[in-house]
Structure 1
Amino acid sequence: MTTIVHFEIQLDPAKLADASEILSETLAATRAWPGNEGLEVLVSDDDPAHMIVVEKWASTIDHTRYVEWRATPEGGGGRIRELLAAPPTTRVFSEQLPLTLAE
C-alpha cells in the first residue's frame, strides 16, 4: 500500500541561501532509495524557511528502512542538519479513508 510522508522542516533563515543546494544533495539520496516513488518540497507562502517535503513510498516498510539507514553513519541525515532551526517533524500516512462523492 502506498505511503505518504510529510517531513516538515524549519530552516534557519540565515542559511536560506545554502538551502537549495543542500536540500537537492540530501533529497537525491532519498529519491534513489528503493521504494521511493517521488517527492516534492513545498515552501510556505508566509515563511520561506518553513518547508514540507512530501514523499511517496511504495510501502511503509520501504520508508522505515530508509529512516533506519539515515540513522546510520553512512546515511547520516546528509547536510540538511546544518540548515535546521528546530527538530523536524515526520508524519506517515498509509491508510486511506474511502469517500463517496455525490453526483
Structure 2
Amino acid sequence: MTCMVHIEFQARPAAIAEMLGGLRRILPDTRAREGCVSVSVTRTQDDPNNFAFVELWDSRAHYERYFAWREETGISQELATLVDGEASFRFFDLVGL
C-alpha cells in the first residue's frame, strides 16, 4: 500500500544555504531509489527555517530500506547537524477519497 511520509524539521538559521545545497545533492538519488514515487520539499511561509518533506513511497518497507541506506552512507547524520532539535517523522496511508 502506498505510504506518505511527512518529515518536518527546523533548520538552523545559519545553515539554510548548506541545507539546501545538501538536499540538491542527495534528492536525485532519493527519487531514483526503488519504491520512491515522489519527494516534495516545502518551506513554511511564516517561518523560512521550517521545512517539511512530503514523500510518497510504494510502501513503508520501501521507505525504511531507503532510510537505512541513508544511515549507512552517513548523510542522515550530516544533515542532522544542520537541524535545530529533532525531526518529526509521520507515516500515512492514502485514503483514496
Q: TM-score, normalised by structure 1?
A: 0.81
Q: Quote the offset at 1:17 in angstroms.
A: 2.3
Q: Any stretches of 5+ residues in structure 2 without a counterpart?
A: none
Bigger Rg, structure 1 or 2: 1
Match of 1:16 in 2: 16
Please report the RMSD computed on the Cα atoms of aligned residues, expressed in angstroms: 1.8
User: Which has the higher mean CA deviation after the structures are superposed, 33-42 or 15-24?
Assistant: 15-24
Moved over 4 A (4+): none
- Structure 1 or 2: larger helix share? 2
Percent of residue pairs bearing the same amino acid type? 33
Q: Any stretches of 5+ residues in structure 1 without a counterpart?
A: none
C-alpha spacing 1:75/1:57, structure 2 compared with 1 (3 Å): farther
Q: TM-score, normalised by structure 2?
A: 0.85
- Structure 1 or 2: larger strand share? 2
Q: Quote the offset at 1:95 in angstroms.
A: 5.0
SS of the equivalent of 2:86 reads coil
